[in-house]
Amino acid sequence: MITFADFERVDIRVGRIIRADLFPQARKPAYKLVIDFGTPIGTRQSSAQLTRHYQPAELAGRLVMAVVNFPPRQIGPFMSEVLTLGVPDEHGEVVLVVPDKDVPLGGKLF
């Protein structure tokens, strides 16, 4: 089990997807996302396996939740700076975790 203090160290913030591009070099189908977390975090990149339920054009402008304090991770030729959060559907395909109301960018989950 983790403690509440452990949970508090995970920095989960809301961001808005600015752009989603195909990521053909990924081993599993994925998009390269550019996400704006507002001030002071700014813009970060993320690789996300969202191709089953989302098209790139419909992702732009959507709010998402992401872990912003993990170290960057090299995924092929791409550096993923945040972990975009999702849950698997009944087939194991990722569905985004999103706020159900419009909230300020950079808002922290608590």
- Confidence at 110, pLDDT banded by 50, 70, 90: confident
Say which CATH number the domain at 52 has: 2.40.50.140
Determine, yes or no, domain membership for 37: yes
Tally DSSP H helices, then E strands, for the chain: 2, 9
Nearest alpha carbon to residue 102 among 7, 38, 24: 38
CB 25 within 8 A of CB 76: yes
Type of residue numbered 69: N
In a domain, 110, yes or no: no
* Cross-strand partners of 87: 95
What pLDDT, on a 0 to 100 scale, did the predictor assign at position 90? 98
Query: Using 50, 70 and 90 to split pLDDT, how confident is the model at 15?
Result: very high
Which tens digits make up the pLDDT trace of 51-108?
999 999 999 999 999 999 999 999 999 999 999 999 999 999 999 999 999 999 999 9
Q: Which domain holds residue 29?
A: 4-96
CA triple 6-12-16, angle to 5 deg: 175
